[in-house]
Amino acid sequence: MNNGLRRLESISTTDGRAQFLIASDDRLLDNDLVLEFEKQGRIPVRRTLSRSLRESHDFGKVQLLPAGTLVGRVLDEQGMPVVAQISAAFSPAPMSESDRERQLHLGIGLELATAESRTETDGTFEVSGLPGGTFVIVARIPEHPRALSSPVDLHPGSSRSVGALVMREAKPANRIAGTVLTPEGVPFADGIVELWVPGAARNANPTAARTRTGENGMFVFSVPSRSRFHVVLVDERTREERIRLNNVVAGGAPVQLVAPEVRIAQVRVSSSSGAAIEGAFIAATDLDGVGIRLEPTSPEPGLWRFPVPTRPFQLSVGAPGHELEHLSAHDPTTIESTLELTLRPTRVARIRGVVSRDGVPVAGAKVAAYRRLEGPHRLSTGFGTRVEASPISELARTDKSGHFELANLRERALVLLVRHGGEIALEFGPVPVDRGDTVWKLPLPMPGEVRGRVLLAEGRDPRGLIIGASRGDGEVRAMSLEADGNFHFARLAPGDWQVRCIEPGLGRVSDRTAHPSRTRPRPQVRLASGESTEIQLDLRYQERRHVRGYITAAPDGPTRWTMVLDGREVRVGPDGRFSAELFTARRPVRLALRGAYGPSVSLLVEDRLDLDSEDNEWNLDLRTGVLELHSVPAFDIHPARGGSDPVKVKLEQSGPEGRRTTIDVSAHGGGPLVLRGLPVGLYDLHFRDETNGRDPDGAESCRTSLELLPGEHKVVSVR
């Protein structure tokens, strides 16, 4: 239970029902309680008890499933027992050989262990308390490659053996080794050396493995054979790079890194009067805008010292009550030892005002400042907007006298949006920004309302249609129609209102992001203060259309289909058949079909359908083509968290009548790469290898064209 709150021992059972008592301690009821039901040999079950509960609660049936057990043995290459740390982890879908190799050496995907154990002196182990699922067993001992079992399916309450796991010595071909020296040639002991993934973005986490140097300055990594990594010496405090060797291949000669001398620079910060400024902060970024951790120290007021980064950088210095200053770029090799900087006092720019209605101050209204957009813009839902998505100021609330203040504004003129009662009640502006000498009066108008009805083609059910309304201030009001087709929007501010049906797939109503538009949308209603008006939306031009068809795929072809037709998601059955009904104007509609061959290969088919008749058919046959790509570079790495995959393969095909097929491959292992169940026809193939360096602009790439014939197994070499 939460924080080990208490254990409930006293439980009475009547007619198979368990009852227990929790004392009504106010301290306990301040938060939700988490109850854990447990029994020896069973998998614990947790239930949450809401803090709003004050008397009783029935959890219903709580089933404690029996726990499973995995057993096995760990041996060395001579068959002798080994004492090792054992972990059981959930396994993903069936693993390829490259996936197994990556997990074996680097532990990829095994960071979250489900249960831990340790071998006995005879090498046997038992991992108990496991739920049902597919598991792998990992054996670890220091300075050895991991031993990894094959995935094992475990049913609740069952016991399975994973057999013997063999711990192997690290072979020279599977090592990256080297030495780190100081500038004087002395071994650099206890330094941190990391392996970085080539091609990873700098703002992602590129680290695949980490170790420390010994007293002799040496380090050794056990990695997949023939893999490539950057070997990096990093600063222990800041984790910043100190020196790096690029594209070091496992099995090569030992490498040597000479740790550069750590230079210390300092910046003296003072005010315009010459007084030292305490409480300043210093930040650094590289020339790409990626932050650099400095860890500065202040030996005296107004003086800050920091280790000089190893790559060009920019400093930003600020202090409370002072403007933030950005210094020009610095070269680590030529930076001055002491920098002098004078900070200017902050020039406070404000907008002050008072909100009222009929001369009475309005308390609790929310006021925010927005930039006004230049030229026509639209939201993803199709409504026009004239203000940016996010305010440039913090939200201000009016006090009892209706006053508000927005401070630290840097724009010359802004638009104010006032919200009252949960809705925008007033758009005011543009308002010039000054030192707050002007107090603007913002009188709230009386809210109005729009009522209406949607006219539809005969036989069309209005239920579920979404009607939206917006006055161009970035807010969209929306409601779902009932069977009568009527809609009603209340508490509307005066202005020109757009009222329309929001088509499926256009975007979220809550999305305020503005996109440039060629035209300004025409409003349907001009609403005055306190006015109530009625309108009709005529959608009878949208005609009923049926689309049905089937997708034929090879057994090892794409699976997990996702189809979107004219913005609506359409279910594709296990047999590949689908059927959809939609109402649309006389225009081509877009169809997008996605399928996945596995975790790293996706297929996208895009088409435009002319629905000339009421019943239409669309079919796709994927049984005929097999493409085999050879000479895909052999590598096996830890994908950087948040980074891109090192090798990309894209196949593009323009088919008949505008049909377009795109196949994206994110490769993790060496070639060949085999794709089955492809549509036949002409393809443009784009191959991109980003493993040679971390800069994607320096990636190797090539383009070629190929034709895939019915029943053909085509082999293509990528150079």
Q: Would you say residue 48 has pLDDT above 80? A: no
The mean predicted confidence, pLDDT, of the chain is 76
Instruction: Please compute the mean of the pLDDT values over residues 632-645 and round it to a whole number.
Output: 32
- The larger pLDDT score, comparing residue 524 to residue 667, is at 524
Q: What is the pLDDT of residue 367?
A: 93
How does DSSP assign 432-454, residue by residue?
A: E-BEEEEEEEEEPPPPEEEEEEE
- Quick one: average pLDDT of 556-567? 76
Contact by Cβ (8 Å): 240, 310: yes
Report which of residues 528 and 143 the model is more confident about: 528
Adjacent-strand bridge partners of 282: 317
pLDDT at 410: 67
Residue 395: band (very low, low, confident or very high) from pLDDT cuts 50, 70, 90: confident
Whole-angstrom distance, CA of residue 16 vs CA of residue 35:
19
**Predicted local confidence at residue 492, as pLDDT:** 92
Output the pLDDT for position 700: 47
Specify the pLDDT at position 9.
42
The sign of the torsion formed by the CA atoms of 685, 689, 695, 698 equals negative
Return the higher-pLDDT residue of 607 and 488.
488
Comparing 16-20, 525-529, 569-573, which segment has the lowest mean pLDDT?
16-20
pLDDT tens digit sequence for 262-305: 889 999 999 888 888 887 888 888 887 778 888 888 888 889 89
Name every residue whose Cβ is closer than 8 Å to that of residue 298 and which is 6 or more positions away in sequence: 304, 305
| Structure confidence at residue 201 (pLDDT) | 52
Burial of 596: CB neighbours in 10 Å, binned 0-12, 13-18, 19+: middle
At 579 the three-state DSSP class reads: strand
Q: What is the phi/psi pair of residue 574, to 5°?
A: -60, -25
299: which 2 tokens? Answer: 């030996």
Percentage of the chain exceeding pLDDT 70: 72
- Taken in order 584, 590, 596, 600, the sign of the CA dihedral is negative
Q: Residue 432: pLDDT band by 50, 70, 90 thresholds? A: confident
Report how far residue 81's alpha carbon sits from residue 17's, in angstroms, rounded to the nearest whole number. 49
Range from 178-187, 466-475, 548-557 carrying the lowest mean pLDDT: 548-557
Residues 64 and 44 sit within 8 Å (Cβ to Cβ): yes
Phi, psi of 246 (to 5 degrees): -90, 145
With contact defined as beta carbons under 8 Å apart, do 176 and 206 qualify? no
- pLDDT tens digits, one per residue of 326-367: 888 888 888 888 998 888 877 667 888 999 999 999 999 999
pLDDT score for 16: 47
Q: How far is Cα 300 from Cα 148, in angstroms, rounded to an integer?
A: 55
Length of the chain: 719
Burial of 311 per CB tally in 10 Å (0-12, 13-18, 19+): middle
Please tell me which residue, 167 or 650, carries the higher pLDDT value.
167
> Kind of pairing, strands 601-609 and 589-596?
antiparallel
In this structure, of 310-314, 422-426, 611-615, 662-666, the range with the lowest mean pLDDT score is 662-666
655 vs 708: CA distance, rounded Å: 13
Find which of 31-35, 72-76, 220-224, 285-289 is predicted with most confidence, using mean pLDDT: 72-76
Which range scores top for mean pLDDT: 139-148, 367-376, 516-525?
367-376
pLDDT confidence bin for 80, thresholds 50/70/90 = confident
pLDDT band at 718 (very low <50, low <70, confident <90, very high): low
Does residue 636 carry a pLDDT above 80? no
Q: So what's the pLDDT on residue 59?
A: 59
Asked if residue 92 lies in contact with residue 181, where contact means CB atoms within 8 angstroms, the answer is no
pLDDT at residue 399 in the model: 93
Any residues with CB less than 8 A from the CB of 309 and at least 6 apart, and which?
240, 284, 286, 292, 294, 332
Per-residue pLDDT at 595:
79
List residues bridging with 448 in a β-sheet: 492
* pLDDT above 80 (res 385): yes
Model confidence at 1, in pLDDT bands (50, 70, 90)? very low
Question: In this predicted structure, what is the pLDDT of residue 629?
Answer: 64
Residue 533, CB-side half-sphere exposure with 13 Å CA sphere: 18
Least confident of 98-107, 154-163, 297-306, 545-554: 98-107
Distance in angstroms (rounded) separating the CA atoms of residues 392 and 328: 26
Q: How far apart are CA 706 and CA 709, in angstroms?
A: 10
pLDDT at 486 over 90: yes
Point out the least confidently predicted range of 181-195, 206-220, 286-300, 593-607: 593-607
pLDDT at residue 443 greater than cutoff 90: yes
pLDDT value for 348: 65
Q: Give residue 29's pLDDT.
A: 43
Q: Using one digit for the tens of pLDDT, what is the confidence trace for 105-161? A: 444 334 344 677 888 878 899 998 887 778 888 887 755 667 778 788 888 788 899
Q: Answer yes or no: are the C-beta atoms of 527 and 494 closer than 8 Å.
A: yes
Looking at residue 106, what DSSP letter applies? H
